[in-house]
Amino acid sequence: MNKSALALFAAHERFALKVAYGIAEEEAVRRSPLGSNSPVWQIGHLATVNNNILLMLGGKSAIAANHGPLFGPGSKPEQGTQYPRFGSVVVSNREVHKHAALAFSTADQSALAAPFSKHPLAELFPTVGEFTTFLMTTHEVCHLTQLNEWRRQMGRPVLDPVMSMLDAEKT
């Protein structure tokens, strides 16, 4: 288990809540004027990918069945109302985060050391542990940064990603 990855994963969850806060349902389905993916897709995508972490580590799915086609790898981010409510997607991401963090923290070393070959990035991350660490850290922050950029393009304040990862009580 990688304690640093777990700490970053928890910090990213806090940032996700802050960067999503105050975005109205009708706004959440809109792309920005420059084409940044909508907030509902960004958070839904994270929930779906984080659910894949859970599944890779032997857990049961913690998301709605329709999340995969709407938000999973290879899905086409669209603008519109085919998505679930943004608030429910944010809650789903929080729940999946908890389950994925627990699965990662309690995973047997042999599960993390297992070969991973089902993804184009397997060449860079050849074990389940390396790939899940990538998803929990780099992949997650990439999408949260894109959501922060959506905020800027929509005329909202951009959040400091580092300071926003602190607990609410500390900010």
Per-residue pLDDT band at 82 (split at 50, 70, 90): confident
Average pLDDT rounded to a whole number, residues 60-71: 92
Spatial neighbors of 67 by CB under 8 A, at least 6 apart, are: 44, 47, 48, 51, 84, 92
135 vs 160 pLDDT, higher one? 135
Spatial neighbors of 81 by CB under 8 A, at least 6 apart, are: 29
Phi/psi-derived region of residue 89, left when phi > 0, alpha when psi is between -120 and 50, beta in every other case: alpha
78 has pLDDT over 90:
no
Residue 170 lies in a domain: no
Confidence at residue 169, expressed as pLDDT on a 0 to 100 scale: 45
The token duo for 118 is 């089902």
Residue 113 lies in a domain: yes
Residue 47 lies in a domain: yes
Residue 128 lies in a domain: yes
Pair 45, 108: CB distance under 8 Å: no
Residue 89 lies in a domain: yes
Per-residue pLDDT band at 171 (split at 50, 70, 90): very low
The CATH number of whichever domain residue 47 belongs to comes to 1.20.120.450
pTM metric for this prediction? 0.92
Total domain count, the chain: 1
Least confident of 29-43, 49-63, 65-79: 65-79
Spatial neighbors of 132 by CB under 8 A, at least 6 apart, are: 5, 53, 56, 57, 104, 112
Confidence at residue 167, expressed as pLDDT on a 0 to 100 scale: 60
162 has pLDDT over 80:
no
Residue 171 lies in a domain: no
90-148 tens-digit pLDDT: 999 999 999 999 999 999 999 999 999 878 888 999 999 999 999 999 999 999 999 99
Residue 36 lies in a domain: yes
Per-residue pLDDT band at 163 (split at 50, 70, 90): confident
* Structural domain of 145: 3-165
Confidence at residue 1, expressed as pLDDT on a 0 to 100 scale: 60
Least confident of 55-69, 113-127, 153-167: 153-167
Residue 125 lies in a domain: yes
Write the single-letter amino acid at 22: G
